[in-house]
Amino acid sequence: MQQQTSYLSEEGYEKLQKELEELKMHTRREISARIEEAKKLGDLSENSEYMEAKEAQEFNERKIAELEALFRNVVLISKNRKKGIVQIGSAITVKTGGKKMNFTIVGSEEADPSAGKISNVSPIGSAFLNKKPGEAVNVSTPGGMVKYEIVEIDE
């Protein structure tokens, strides 16, 4: 199975690298210590502390594997993008219904709609890609079609 390309800003890349390091260096050790302590409590078949620690270990190892897979297929978002066109990494101002909003188009790993960071693969994010200021896009939302006009791209 081929892994999907992930787009990350330098900031997002560093954040996930730190998370991976934390999981490998600290969390892994803490869980290992919990497992060893739980083993001292006796019968493992009915040892809830042991079972909980093993579940935590499984979760931690799965998260490590996910992050390592992501890093094998990551593309860093360039700061030297084409001017005047919406791309991954672009900060844009749009207008809908007379209201202005600011978004940054990011890869799905960094998406945080509450912070104005929308994924390049989301319906709204993908609609803005390769558009220029003055262009309008229609986006299908649960509430119906919404028209957005791109006001500016903050280079």
Q: Are 19 and 67 in contact (CB under 8 A)?
A: yes
- pLDDT of 15-60, one tens digit each? 999 999 999 999 999 999 999 998 887 777 778 888 999 999 999 9
- pLDDT of 97-108, one tens digit each? 999 999 999 998
- Label residue 2 by pLDDT band (50, 70, 90): low
| pLDDT of 125 above 80 | yes
CATH number of 91-154: 3.10.50.30
Q: Which helix (H) or strand (E) holds 72?
A: helix 48-72
How do the domains of the chain map onto residue ranges?
6-76, 91-154
Topology alike, domains 6-76 and 91-154: no
How many residues are there in the chain?
A: 155
| pLDDT at 3 (0 to 100) | 64
Q: Which CATH class is domain 6-76?
A: mainly alpha
Tokens (6 digits) for 24: 């490998």
Rg (CA), the chain: 22
Average pLDDT of the chain, as a whole number: 91
- Label residue 14 by pLDDT band (50, 70, 90): very high
Q: Is the sign of the CA dihedral 80, 82, 84, 86 positive or negative?
A: negative
The span from the CA of 126 to the CA of 90, in Å, is: 12
Q: Are 144 and 154 in contact (CB under 8 A)?
A: no
